[in-house]
Structure 1
Amino acid sequence: MSAPPPEFPWFLPRDSDMARRVHGFDWGNTSLGPLDGWRPALCHALAALMRSPAPMGLFHGREGILLYNDAYKAIAGLRHPQVFGQPVLAAWPEVADFNRHVLDTVFAGGALSFHDVHVVLNRSDAPQDAWLHIDFSPLVDDTATVAGVMFVITDTTARKEAEATLASEAATLQDRVNQRTAELLRTQDALRQSQKMEAIGNLTGGVAHDFNNLLQVISGNLQLLAEDVHGSERGERRVRNAMAGVARGSKLATQLLAFGRRQPLAPKVVNVGRFVRNMDDLLRRTLGEGIEVETVVAGGLWNTLIDPGNVENALLNLALNARDAMDGQGRLTIEAGNAYLDASYVDTLDDVAAGQYVLLAVTDTGHGIDAQTMDKVFEPFFTTKPEGRGTGLGLSMVYGFVKQSGGHIKLYSEPGHGTTVKLYLPRTTQSEDIIVDVDTGPLTGGSETILVAEDDEAVRDTVVAMLADLGYRVLKARDAPSALSIIDSGIPIDLLFTDVVMPGALKSPELARKARERLPGISVLFTSGYTENSIVHGGRLDEGVELLSKPYSRETLARKLRQMLSGHARRQDGGPATVAPPPANSPPAIRVVRVLVVEDDWLVRTTVAEMLQLRGHEVFEAADAARALEVLAEQPVDVLVSDVSLPGMSGVELVAEARARHPGLAAVYATGHAHADGVQPDARTLVLVKPYGSEALNQALARLFPPPGVGRPATAPGP
């Protein structure tokens, strides 16, 4: 081994790793030769290399003998010290091409710089990604000849990681900005849509009141005129044509109110599957033989709280649109099933809540809708049908009705592949309501007294003439204070028929409340061309409110009045009233009472309620004790007809709780056993054994509430 020159130790601290390596290195076995053969310029370069705190190294000679300092070894994490003093091309064959390029370029007199070079450093613990800045420059000896390549390394990993973090945060921030921007745009779109809907609603509502009042005057007088021209074919035809025009005007106003979400809804608990099946015959007749109608109803279908008339109109509108799209030939599929809209879906929507829905889907095999048209189909007055074949209000009406009901509507279509319209109607856990069609049966009038409160003189005169023509005794008032004065006069009044929108400080709902205070047995029927918010809240009629929308026909008015008057007999003192003497061969007269039927089986409950209603009683229904107590808190009730076995609280416990709150309450227990445990029949308590018929039920009520002139027995016997 050749000893280093005497001057060598002065530039290399003896305690450094590189010093030990340099002093102990066998320089004679390399092309470098012994250190004492180095020229002073190279020795100074090596001294600067070894003393530098920066990672540095050099490739000596054309072979690129590798020399480096402690800082370079620290950053590179070299595991094999023997690479020191070895040719660089052999030390790292995997990057030999790169290092050869460096040697050739620098020995040719050039310099190289590489910025942010991504490398994987073989540290002792594990491979590690790093980013380095490397400068290669010529190493010149005393004769100005290039003797090697000097390189200096700057670790830019921290800066690159900071830049990456900053870029990631900037991207995240940009994503958030984009998200917020999208939300803002959606909010702005929703606001514009809401403002548009509000404008349409206000415009429609403002016009509808006066427009429907005019239609009512025209309609009423035409119907009265029909009696005068009876027998004249020409006169009857002209009246029919004019009435058809009234009907079209009324439908137009209704459709606009529906789109503007201003129509008064009277929701019922409906099983859509049964509803669709009941419409099957109607749809087949309406669509014609060329359309094949298929209905698919899923098992376990939930109930929905919806206005039956509006959902029927919506389904009919969709079916007619499908028929036109199929040119009268094709297949119409109506599906009903359960659906769930999750948060990720409704997050992109503005007025839809996540949760459970009942899905009603209508699919046709028509020509479909293109993307440009899809954005406009729910707009009012937009139609692709030829002039004269459509108003453009059908789908907009469906859209407004579904939205007002708290649901969601989605349309899927592709040109040449048909269209599917999906209605998502909110689910309810309530029991299904039994919907009775009151617009059937013979048209009859009556002899009761009706007070008409209407500020429009023409409308008032028309409705008074119609009521008088039906046989009723009619009182009239031009405003609410005048109507209240008539009520305060003591004249017996069976029904108050009042317009919703009336001038003056006393509004119609307040008039109705005061009328019921003074005449507890009076019935109240509202009418209006536009209800505003006085009896409609949340798009729905207030509980217990009866409304007849203008314009109405003589037949509709007559049936509505009979429906109300037969179920709400006039009460003079707040107690059970007396029914008018029955005709010959009818069942014995009984007292009309208010009955609360509590039965968890909806079929039994509905049957019992119908038995009672046929005898003129006012009936309330409840499926369990909790609902029954709510009804008792809201309505005056004379007798409780309750099943003994109820979910939660038994019928016996219910009666005990009810009597604690209403001591005078009579009770009829219904049971499938011979007796009811814990029940002792008395003057206020009876037991009915199932199955029982209408006669047994009414006899039980007759014992509890004898007709006038018949005394109540001290102890009422069992059935």
Structure 2
Amino acid sequence: MQFLSESHGCDGWKGEMAGRIRAFDWSGTDLGPLDNWPASLCSTVQLMLASPLPMVMLWGRTGYMIYNDAYSEFAGGRHPYLLGVPVELGWPEVAEFNRHVVDTCLAGGTLSFRSKELVLLRNGVPEDVWMDLYYSPVANDLGQPAGVMAMVVETTELVLSERLRQAAEDAYRADNERVRLALNAGALIGSFVWDIRNNVLSADERFARTFSYPPEQDLANLPQHIAESRIHADDRNWVQECVARSLRTAEPYNAEYRVLRPDGSCRWVLASGACEFDEQGRAFRFPGVLIDIHERKSAEESLLKFTRNLEQRVSDEVTARLAAEERLRQSQKLEAIGGLTGGVAHDFNNLLQVIAGNLHLLARHEPENVNVQRRVSASLAAVERGAKLSSQLLAFARRQPLSPAVCNPRQIFDGVGELLQRALGETIQIDVQLPHEPWHINVDRNQLENAILNLAINARDAMQGEGTIVLGAANTTLDQTFCAGKGLVPGDFVRVSVSDSGVGIAAHLLEQVFEPFFTTKADGQGTGLGLSMVFGFVKQSGGHVEIDSQLGQGTRVQLYFPRSLRAVLDDASNVESALGGGNETILVVEDNDAVRASAVELLREEGYQVLTAGHGDAAMQMLLEGTAVDLIFTDVVMPGLIKSSDLAAWAKVQKPPVPVLFTSGHTRDIISRNHQLSPDTHLLGKPYGPEGLLQMIRTVLSN
């Protein structure tokens, strides 16, 4: 009997996640290579991928995560990095809860939770969420529990809406209870009888006090005009209509109206009664009572006001939610582009490094060959253009490694001034406007100078090469209204602006100007990445970008950066080390053979003793076996269990510490926090040239 068909069980999987699962390297997990997966696991994964509900499988005691397309949307910015990751690492904020789930289900148990409250990190901020969760064991081919199937349905919106509804009902119930207690506590404030035939009104003392009759007035003969004059003018016609209807139709008389008090205030009353008729059907007597309903009417007005406020709050919440969803969509779009860009940049920069390294070596070996030198120079120029393109894409995706430092806008403008004038030409005037004492900011100075240069070049092109560009900085305090929806915290900011008097940008294009590859210039005159790079850099620095423009009147771009209260570091401390070689021992850790070979050859030509390792595991083994090195030169992103950050951690605790120089085309936040490099972290971006490598080697060794 044939138990297995010639095709593997995963061939029938459909959807985006099916492709990701097939492409993932599972050999480093407890599941092993995909081709060796048991039939039960393949079948369960196929059922999960076909489900429209968010589902995730946690396999083995470690809980390696396999999930469907619906769960990838729920995971947000953590997708696709959750695939193949232990659940306690993927969701560290609820690690204890997930450990209990895995232990329970692997023991054969099931768990379910309705509207379970959890605190999850979303965009780096703790957020209260509620979810319906269902967990059940998944059996292997032997029928034993080997994994956990989890179904996740977020109910946050339903829970919050139910809370709002319950609050409104509780308030309404409390108000009605107060009215009932008021009536039961003696709300009757008078009685009256109207003798219709003789047109005489009689009443008790409480009625007379309510309508402010004189104390000496005969209660058996009360002038009706006094009572009528005490009824609020806006209610008088209504009361007369109610009386006339009761006289005409014999319907009960019930009229709510306001009675004017001597102090000018009003009090709500309910007059209730009925008309009595004789045998001939003629009205002759009209008895009734007065009931104090002032508290009830006040409660109703309060409830009406509360209801209106509630409707407004619900409307505001819906508007805010729609805005938040739009920001989330934009954020997810940016994350998707960033993930793609990061992967492409890493491989692309490695390729550029191989090309650049070999070109530099070729130029060194053929110094007298003019043709070789000319062609090498042209090729290196192309490499630099490719590196710039990769850097701009990373900047837009907010994934470029930054080296922020406290600086003064005056320093920035002074440093970029000469470069601006050379780049813009003599027909462009630059008007610099600075406050007397500009506040400090904490930014990557080189990136800010590049951003200003990009904006100035755009301004020059908008003015057809003639005119004045206003370059300014201002101290400003942003309030809650301005910061709403912009990801900013109200407080002190420095606003850097670049303005021109050029052709301007049409209003319907303003929302697109920061998108990558969008440009208003003619074909071949711009990449469309300049403003994208500015946008990504400012957002990554915790700031905000705004652009104002009108056709024929020019454009102004404003960059907002949070104020820093720290002092500016002395530039004199950052003196570059002299270029040159040495005889120290350097461990080169690089998984790309071609990149490693070119770096090793260059370093050996400069006199360095060079050791090599193809990945972090091999490098750590050499170091633990006692190999002595003066510097570790390591790629950031490598295969294996030992990461570059682990090598740096080992080097830091040695006595004396071993300096580390990182290199990468894309760090993936392995050695940085939110792509912000710490002051003691040295990074050489790929592709790099011989001068850049040797300069950084000497700088790190000197430090």
- The TM-score normalised by the length of structure 2 is 0.62
Distance between the aligned counterparts of 2:508 and 2:465, measured in 1? 25
Matched position secondary structure for 1:292:
strand
Per-residue CA deviation, residues 206-254 of structure 1 (Å, 9 max, x unaligned), is: 2221111001111222223334665666554443333232222212221
Please point out which of 265, 274, 292 is paired with 1:127.
Answer: 265
User: Matched residues in 1 for 2:305 and 2:524: separation?
Assistant: 59
Provide Cα deviations, 1:5-63, integer angstroms capped at 9, x if missing partner: xxxxxxxxxxxxxxxxxxxxxxxxxxxxxxxxxxxxxxxxxxxxxxx9655647779xx
**1:136–1:335 Cα change, 3 Å:** farther
Structure 2 unpaired stretches of 5+:
1-188
Match in the other structure for 2:40: none
Displacement of 1:169 after TM fit?
A: 1.4
1:499–1:526 Cα contact (<8 Å) kept: yes
Task: State the match for 2:60 in structure 1.
Answer: none
Listed as ranges, the matches of 1:473-484 within 5 Å are 473-484=609-620
Q: Distance in 2 between matches of 1:194 and 1:534?
A: 21
Match of 1:204 in 2: 341
- Counterpart position of 2:683: 547
1:498 lines up with 2:634 in the alignment: yes
Q: Distance in 2 between matches of 1:58 and 1:534?
A: 95
2:203 aligned residue (49, 65, 69): 69
- The structure 2 residue matched to 1:225, chosen from 352, 362, 380, is 362
In the alignment, which residue of structure 2 is the partner of 1:317? 454
Deviation at 1:547, TM superposition (A): 0.9
Distance in 1 (alpha carbons) for counterparts of 2:622 and 2:280:
130
Give distance in 2, aligned partners of 1:493 and 1:85: 113
* CA drift at 1:122: 3.2
SS, match of residue 353 in structure 1:
coil
Distance 1:102 1:182 in 2: 45
Structure 1 residue 419: Cα displacement: 3.1
Kindly, what percent of the aligned residue pairs are identical? 40
Q: Distance in 2 between matches of 1:116 and 1:324?
A: 77
Query: CA separation in 1, counterparts of 2:663 and 2:210?
Result: 90
User: How many angstroms does 1:457 deviate by?
Assistant: 0.6
**For 2:513, which of 377, 382, 406 is the aligned residue?**
377
- Cα distance between partner residues in 1 of 2:688 and 2:622: 26
The AA in structure 2 aligned to 1:181 is V
Mapped to 1, the partners of 2:495 and 2:239 lie a distance apart of 73
- Taking a change above 3 Å as real, the CA distance of residues 254 and 126 of structure 1, as seen in their structure-2 partners, is same
Q: Is the 8 A contact 1:58 1:151 kept in 2?
A: no
1:100-125 residue CA offsets vs partner (Å, 9 max, x unmatched): 99799899979999997765x33244
The worse-fitting range, judged by mean Cα deviation, of 140-149 and 351-360 is 140-149
| Whole-angstrom distance in 1 between the partners of 2:447 and 2:543 | 13
**Does 2:436 match 1:302?**
no
442-451 or 159-168, larger mean C-alpha shift: 442-451
1:458 Cα offset (Å): 0.9
* TM-aligned CA deviation for residue 200 of structure 1: 2.3
Instruction: After TM superposition, give the deviation of residue 264 of structure 1 in Å.
Output: 1.3
Q: Are residue 245 (structure 1) and residue 382 (structure 2) matched?
A: yes
Partner of 2:693: 557
What CA distance in whole angstroms lies between the structure 2 residues aligned with 1:176 and 1:102?
39
- 1:526–1:86: structure 2 CA closer, same or farther, 3 Å change rule? closer
> Residue 402 of structure 1: SS of its match in structure 2?
helix
Change (3 A) 1:157 1:540: same
| Alpha-carbon distance between aligned partners in 2 of 1:168 and 1:484, rounded to the nearest angstrom | 70
Bigger Cα displacement from structure 2, 182-191 vs 394-403: 182-191
Provide closer, same or farther for how the CA distance between residues 366 and 117 of structure 1 changes in structure 2, counting only shifts above 3 A.
Answer: farther
AA at the equivalent of 1:531: T
* Aligned pair partner of 1:386 in 522, 531, 548: 522
Work out whether residues 405 and 539 of structure 1, in 8 Å CA contact, stay in contact via their aligned partners in 2.
Answer: no
DSSP 3-state at the match of 1:462: helix
Change (3 A) 1:314 1:114: farther
Alpha carbons of 1:308 and 1:160: their partners in 2 closer, same or farther (altered >3 Å)?
Answer: same
348, 351, 364: which is aligned to 2:500?
364
Tell me what 1:434 maps to. Answer: 570
Question: After superposition, what is the alpha-carbon deviation per residue over 1:281-325, rounded to whole angstroms, capped at 9, x for unaligned?
Answer: 222222233433111221222222211111111111222222233
| Partners of 2:246 and 2:252 within 8 A in 1 | no
Q: How does 1:535-684 map to 2 (within 5 A)?
A: 535-565=671-701, 567-568=702-703
Summarize deviations over 1:580-618 as a string: whole Å, max 9, x none: xxxxxxxxxxxxxxxxxxxxxxxxxxxxxxxxxxxxxxx
| Partner Cα distance (2:271, 2:464) in 1 | 74
Asked if the contact 2:496/2:558 (under 8 Å) is kept, the reply is yes
- SS of structure 1 residue aligned to 2:512: coil
The answer on whether the counterparts of 1:452 and 1:477 sit within 8 Å (CA) in structure 2 is yes
Where does residue 395 of structure 1 map in the other structure?
531
Judging changes above 3 Å, is the alpha-carbon distance between structure 1 residues 143 and 202 closer, same or farther for their aligned structure 2 residues? closer
CA distance in 1, matches of 2:271, 2:223: 23
Q: Structure 1 residues 437 and 281, CA, compared in 2 at 3 Å: closer, same or farther?
A: farther
The TM-score with structure 1 as length reference comes to 0.60
CA contact (8 A) 1:133 1:155 kept: no
Give the superposed CA RMSD.
Answer: 4.3
Q: Which amino acid aligns with 2:401?
A: P
Preserved contact between residue 396 and residue 533 of structure 2 (Cα < 8 Å):
yes
Aligned to 1:261: 398
- Contact 1:89/1:100 (8 A) holds in 2: no
What amino acid sits opposite 1:76 in the alignment?
F
